[in-house]
């Protein structure tokens, strides 16, 4: 069970906004996390508390394929990202590295910055405690569920190779 | 089946595939660069295999922060170089390297009908050859380096037909910017874009690379063209292996069909901070600029430099403007020297750089200060993309970028 406060963003938050390319001369998640969201919210990395949740409208994570984007969000302490829609590569990357994502336009519509959420990843149930409302996120396709349950793509690949 | 479906079926031993299906797809080339390579290598090492599945199908291109701009980026390039040496994968050293998406097709490493995955979102560029090429993250690349396969969801396809005859300053860049302006930055989310029609048929391969390159800017998984005579001629002397030509079926099912007539189209300019904020150049006129950047994997090929030189010949870059030209590869650079283009650039007051991504992603070689504006032939104008989060980037074709460097503000080449 995840519990945290919402940081809300708009549409088309791109990977340059999540982690500007000028910091990509390193790849250590903790180093990257210091600059998470810097160009659209300078204070984000300082304000965020472990467990907090990023919420955004459509096409979150568009742009570059840089895995540094979900890595730095995760390392900043964000517990999950809830959006109306995600950009394709960002979605894959997050699943692969184990940053939980939930697609739920209704929850985005019905929640505001600072609201407190309770999220059950297994069922996709999102509860807005501040507003006493419940939402149901779209389920993952079974194929992706297998990757998530294996603990990410690397573990999944390892198991597959071992089992031949 | 559409072109995308046909290629994916062929790579997953299937007669037929439909949109939405999950497949394990065999890959013909796996790519990473100096930013995404180090993470891919780190993850690869966790899998527990010693060797990549096939070293001649793995390529790493140090193009983003090279020639190394600082110690940290030198360490990243070294990680990638050491790995490629140990594994025997393709690696292009500074002096031979170009921007990955200008280099790989030049080198014949990517071919029609191939499935190519790269830890770089503009991997979609190779769709111009009639290949299925798509960007992914480093972890996907690590897994594919170990197994030679990757999971994919078959995308549905949106078909774009371009008809009509364009004006002399209208290029493939304008076709694709117009489409992105029309459908939006998520207009093709999770889809393949298939391009056709007489206006696209008459484009050179260079024009098609430019268009396929920006498919990701509409959220697409891939952007594909047919392999025609121009394509086979292009790959003929370069191909390092056999290839197979795929064609869409007559009765292929498209999620949407969109028609554009380019006869009345003006060169397009995308305003900050999204590639979809497009306007015709006549509506953008007068925006004062501090810098013009001509290059990148979108427009760093020889045809692009020829177009810029045609505009710049005998003219001077405005005194308070910096015009930076970045040939996309050493071969492009050499052609530009032999054709006299570099002399034209230098005489008109441009700086010419060795091939690198450089300012395209705010790396080096032309970073913007707060409050500055640049016109660029690159593909993204997000906040902070070329430097300060308070700078601005406008996207255009090379002719408009060159003309604007001379005028000091955004103009059409016609108005010089
Ligand atoms: S030129 Fe720009 S868009 Fe192309 S690969 Fe380099 S950084 Fe990416």
Phi first, then psi, for residue A90 (nearest 5°) are -60, -40
CB atoms inside a 10 Å sphere around CB B363? 25
Yes or no, beta carbons of B49 and A161 under 8 Å apart: yes
Q: What pLDDT digit, counting tens, does each position of A113-130 carry?
A: 999 999 999 899 999 999
Yes or no, beta carbons of A88 and B147 under 8 Å apart: no
Q: What are the pocket residues of ligand 1 if the criterion is a CB atom closer than 6 Å to any ligand atom?
A: B 64, 99-101, 120, 122, 296-297, 357, 360-361, 378-379
Of all atoms in ligand 1, which is nearest to the CA of residue B33? 5
pLDDT on residue A140: 86
Phi first, then psi, for residue B248 (nearest 5°) are -70, 150
Rounded to the nearest angstrom, the distance between the alpha carbon of B123 and the centre of ligand 1 is 10
Rounded to the nearest angstrom, the distance between the alpha carbon of A53 and the centre of ligand 1 is 31
A141 touches chain B (CB under 8 A): yes
Q: Do the beta carbons of residue B98 and residue B329 sit within 8 Å?
A: yes
Reported as a pLDDT band with limits 50, 70 and 90, residue A149 is confident
Residues of B in contact with A38 (CB under 8 A): 389
Rounded to the nearest angstrom, the distance between the alpha carbon of B249 and the centre of ligand 1 is 33
Distance CA A110, CA A84 (A): 11
Rounded to the nearest angstrom, the distance between the alpha carbon of A113 and the centre of ligand 1 is 34
Q: What pLDDT digit, counting tens, does each position of B220-262 carry?
A: 999 999 999 999 999 999 998 999 999 999 999 999 999 999 9
Distance CA A115, CA A108 (A): 11
Q: Do the beta carbons of residue B225 and residue B129 sit within 8 Å?
A: yes
**Pairing state of beta strands A125-128 and B392-395?**
unpaired
pLDDT on residue A164: 64
Distance CA B407, CA B139 (A): 46
User: How many CB pairs lie under 8 A apart between chains A and B?
Assistant: 145
Residue A94, pLDDT above cutoff 80: yes
* pTM for this entry: 0.97
Interface with B, mutate which of A89, A144, A159 (most B CBs under 10 A): A89
- The set of residues, in sequence order, having a beta carbon less than 8 Å from that of A59 and lying 6+ positions away, is A11, A12, A13, A85, A86, A87, B185, B186, B189, B219
Nearest to B239 by CA among B108, B59, B116: B108
Residue A163, pLDDT above cutoff 90: no
Q: What pLDDT digit, counting tens, does each position of A46-91 carry?
A: 999 999 999 999 999 999 999 999 999 999 999 999 999 999 999 9
Interface with B, mutate which of A64, A91, A159 (most B CBs under 10 A): A64
Q: Do the beta carbons of residue A20 and residue A43 sit within 8 Å?
A: no
Show the domains of chain B with their CATH numbers.
3-260 (3.30.499.10), 267-415 (3.30.499.10)
Length of chain A equals 164
Yes or no, beta carbons of A66 and B36 under 8 Å apart: yes
- Restricting to A residues 15-44, those with a Cβ less than 8 Å away from any Cβ of B are 16-17, 20-22, 24-27, 38-40
Burial class from Cβ neighbours inside 10 Å (0-12, 13-18, 19+) for residue B409 reads: middle
Residues of B in contact with A158 (CB under 8 A): 46-48
Residue ranges in chain B modelled with pLDDT below 70: none
- Report how far apart, in Å, the C-alpha atoms of A80 and of each of A65, A94, A118, B111, B129 are: 19, 10, 11, 39, 39
């Amino acid at each position: 069970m995840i519990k945290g406060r919402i940081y809300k963003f708009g549409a088309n938050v791109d990977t340059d906004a999540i982690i500007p390319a000028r910091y990509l001369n390193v790849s250590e998640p903790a180093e990257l996390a210091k600059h998470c969201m810097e160009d659209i919210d300078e204070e984000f990395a300082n304000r965020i508390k472990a467990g907090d949740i990023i919420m955004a409208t459509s096409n979150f994570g568009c742009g570059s394929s840089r895995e540094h984007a979900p890595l730095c969000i995760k390392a900043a302490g964000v517990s999950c990202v809830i959006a109306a829609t995600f950009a394709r590569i960002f979605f894959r990357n997050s699943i692969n590295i184990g940053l939980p994502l939930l697609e739920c336009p209704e929850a985005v519509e019905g929640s505001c910055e600072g609201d407190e959420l309770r999220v059950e990843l297994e069922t996709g149930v999102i509860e807005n405690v501040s507003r006493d409302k419940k939402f149901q996120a779209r389920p993952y396709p079974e194929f992706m569920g297998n990757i998530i349950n294996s603990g990410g793509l690397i573990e999944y690949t390892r198991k597959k190779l071992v089992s031949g | 089946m559409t072109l995308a479906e046909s290629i994916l079926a062929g790579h997953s031993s299937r007669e037929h595939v439909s949109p939405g299906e999950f497949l394990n797809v065999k890959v013909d080339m796996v790519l990473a660069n100096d930013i995404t390579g180090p993470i891919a290598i780190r993850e690869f090492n966790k899998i527990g295999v010693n060797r990549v599945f096939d070293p001649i199908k793995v390529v790493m291109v140090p193009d983003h922060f090279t020639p190394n701009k600082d110690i940290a980026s030198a360490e990243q390039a070294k990680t990638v170089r050491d790995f490629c040496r140990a594994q025997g994968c393709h690696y292009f050293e500074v002096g031979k390297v170009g921007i990955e998406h200008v280099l790989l097709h030049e080198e014949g490493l990517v071919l029609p009908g191939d499935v190519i995955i790269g830890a770089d979102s503009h991997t979609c560029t190779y769709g111009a050859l009639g290949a299925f090429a798509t960007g992914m993250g480093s972890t996907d690349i690590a897994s594919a380096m170990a197994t030679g396969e990757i999971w994919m969801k078959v995308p549905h396809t949106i078909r774009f037909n371009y008809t009509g005859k364009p004006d002399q300053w209208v290029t493939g860049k304008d076709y694709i910017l117009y489409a992105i302006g029309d459908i939006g930055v998520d207009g093709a989310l999770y889809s393949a874009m298939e391009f056709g029609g007489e206006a696209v048929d008459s484009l050179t391969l260079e024009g098609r690379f430019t268009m396929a390159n920006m498919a990701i800017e509409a959220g697409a998984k891939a952007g594909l063209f047919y392999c025609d005579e121009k394509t086979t001629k292009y790959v003929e002397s370069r191909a390092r292996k056999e290839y197979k030509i795929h064609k869409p079926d007559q009765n292929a099912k498209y999620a949407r069909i969109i028609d554009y007539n380019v006869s009345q189209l003006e060169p397009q300019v995308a305003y900050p901070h999204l590639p979809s904020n497009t306007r015709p150049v006549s509506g953008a006129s007068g925006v004062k600029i501090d810098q013009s950047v001509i290059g990148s994997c979108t427009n760093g090929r020889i045809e692009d430099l020829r177009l810029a030189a045609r505009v710049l010949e005998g003219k001077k870059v405005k005194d308070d403007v910096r015009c930076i030209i970045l040939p996309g590869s050493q071969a492009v650079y050499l052609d530009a020297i032999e054709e006299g283009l570099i002399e034209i650039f230098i005489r008109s007051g441009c700086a010419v750089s060795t091939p690198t991504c450089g300012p395209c992603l705010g790396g080096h070689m032309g970073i913007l200060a707060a409050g500055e504006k640049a016109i660029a032939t690159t593909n993204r104008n997000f906040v902070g993309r070329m430097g300060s989060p308070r700078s601005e980037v406008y996207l255009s074709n090379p002719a408009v970028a060159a003309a604007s460097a001379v005028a000091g503000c955004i103009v059409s080449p016609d108005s010089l």
